[in-house]
Amino acid sequence: MSVRLREALREAAAEVPAYPVHDRAVRTARRTRRRMAAAVAAVLVLVALVPVAARGGDRPSIAPAGVDGPALPDRIGLPPFGSLHATDRPRLGPAALIFSGQARGLTGLIDEDGTVGIVGADADRYRTWTVGFEAPAGEQVLLSPDGRRIAVPAGSPGHPGIDLVDLVDGTVRHLASPRPGSSLTRPAGWAPDGSALVVRDTTAANPEGSAYVDTLSLVRLDTGRAVRLLETDQLPIFGAPVAFTADGSRLAFQVGDKVLVTGTDGRQVTSFPLPPESGLAGKGAWLPDGSLALVSRDPDTTRWRLRRVDPASGRDLGVLALPAVDGVTTIRLLGWWPDGSALVVGYRPDPDSPERFDGPVDMDQRTVYPNVQTVRVLGLTPGAATPTTLLTAPDQVLAIDVADAVVRAGRVRAADPPSGPGGRFWWAAGAAALVLGGLVAARLLRRRRVTRGRAPRG
**423-453 and 22-55 are packed helices; what angle lies between their axes, rounded to 10 degrees?**
150
DSSP state of 21: -
Interaction pattern, residues 9-48, with other proteins; x per rule: CB under 8 A: xxxxxx-xxxx-xx-xxx-xx--xx---------------
Q: Cβ distance 83 to 126 under 8 Å? A: yes
Interaction pattern, residues 166-205, with other proteins; x per rule: CB under 8 A: ----------------------------------------
Beta bridge partners of 273: 258
Q: Does 383 bind other proteins (CB under 8 A)?
A: no
Give the residue with the Cβ less far from other proteins, 157 or 452: 452
Give the residue with the Cβ less far from other proteins, 26 or 45: 26
Give the residue with the Cβ less far from other proteins, 110 or 457: 457
Q: What is the smallest separation between the CB atom of 44 and other proteins, expressed in angstroms?
A: 20
Q: What is the smallest separation between the CB atom of 440 and other proteins, expressed in angstroms?
A: 15
Q: Does 449 bind other proteins (CB under 8 A)?
A: no
Give the residue with the Cβ less far from other proteins, 24 or 159: 24
Cα 172 to Cα 59, 163, 169, 423, distances in angstroms: 24, 6, 9, 20
DSSP state of 35: H
CA nearest 260: which of 188, 325, 323? 188
Q: Does 446 bind other proteins (CB under 8 A)?
A: no
Alpha-helical segments (H) within 264-419: 404-409
Q: How many CB atoms lie within 10 A of CB 318?
A: 8
d(CA 409, CA 422): 29
Q: Does 442 bind other proteins (CB under 8 A)?
A: no
Q: How many CB atoms lie within 10 A of CB 302?
A: 18
Give the residue with the Cβ less far from other proteins, 45 or 450: 450
Identity (one letter) of the amino acid at 177?
S
Query: According to CB under 8 A, which one of 6, 35, 59, 104 is a site residue for other proteins?
Result: 6
Tell me the site size for other proteins, rule CB under 8 A. Answer: 33
Torsion of CA 64, 70, 75, 80, to 10 degrees: 10
Query: According to CB under 8 A, which one of 174, 225, 448, 449 is a site residue for other proteins?
Result: 448
The contact set with other proteins (CB under 8 A) reads: 1-2, 4-6, 8-14, 16-19, 21-22, 24-26, 28-29, 32-33, 448, 450-451, 454-458
